[in-house]
Amino acid sequence: MLMRWLAVPALLMAFTGLSQASECPELLQGSLPKLRAKETIDLCQRFAGKPLVVVNTASFCGFAPQFKSLEALNQRFKAQGLEVIGVPSNDFKQESRDAEQTAKVCYVDYGVTFTMTEPQKVRGDDAAHLFQVLAAQSDEPKWNFYKYVVDRKGKVIANFSSLTEPDDPKFIEAVEKALASQP
């Protein structure tokens, strides 16, 4: 009899796990390696139900100073649940092939504290799954520092070109809309 009672919680945990997996939005299915860490980021586990700003970055791009305003955005809204994800890419030939150099630019030169991944493809058929879904929901990045604002359900609510600064009123309005969204 005791054995049956022990099996019930195990079954409930198994069904709960299945339910959570099926609730993970397509955008967040998969994982990415964290920049200069031995850690892999399970996107669903880490970001499901959270409003996001996803941006493809490049260390040697003329838009790299946007790291500072992205960090300011992160500091301004992180207490409200916003997560910023930076994804370095060499798709436009402006990222170092050395992840240590990329990390130095992000963490030392610009003081980034938000999540950064190892460099990924962000365009085309071999793009990281995250960027394939972003492109399917909106547009593929046209250049470095292309920004996506994603609601709590994993849907793109706005995307912005490299020319749009992270402190632009329209960008902030989209972030606030994402923050107000329901999971």
The reported pLDDT for the residue numbered 126 is: 96
The reported pLDDT for the residue numbered 23 is: 85
Residue 106 falls in the annotated catalytic set: no
Q: Cβ–Cβ contacts within 10 Å for residue 82, how many?
A: 21
Q: Say what the pTM is.
A: 0.87
Domains belonging to the chain, first-starting first, are 25-180 (3.40.30.10)
Strands 147-150 and 156-160: antiparallel
Q: Are 181 and 151 in contact (CB under 8 A)?
A: yes
Q: Cβ–Cβ contacts within 10 Å for residue 108, how many?
A: 9
Per-residue pLDDT tens digits of the chain, which is 183 residues long: 544 544 444 444 444 443 444 589 999 999 999 998 889 999 999 999 999 999 999 999 999 999 999 999 999 999 999 999 999 999 999 999 999 999 999 999 999 999 999 999 999 999 999 999 999 999 999 999 999 999 999 999 999 999 999 999 999 999 999 999 998
Identified catalytic residue from 24, 44, 61, 106: 61
Q: pLDDT, tens digit, for every residue of 98-146?
A: 999 999 999 999 999 999 999 999 999 999 999 999 999 999 999 999 9
The reported pLDDT for the residue numbered 100 is: 93
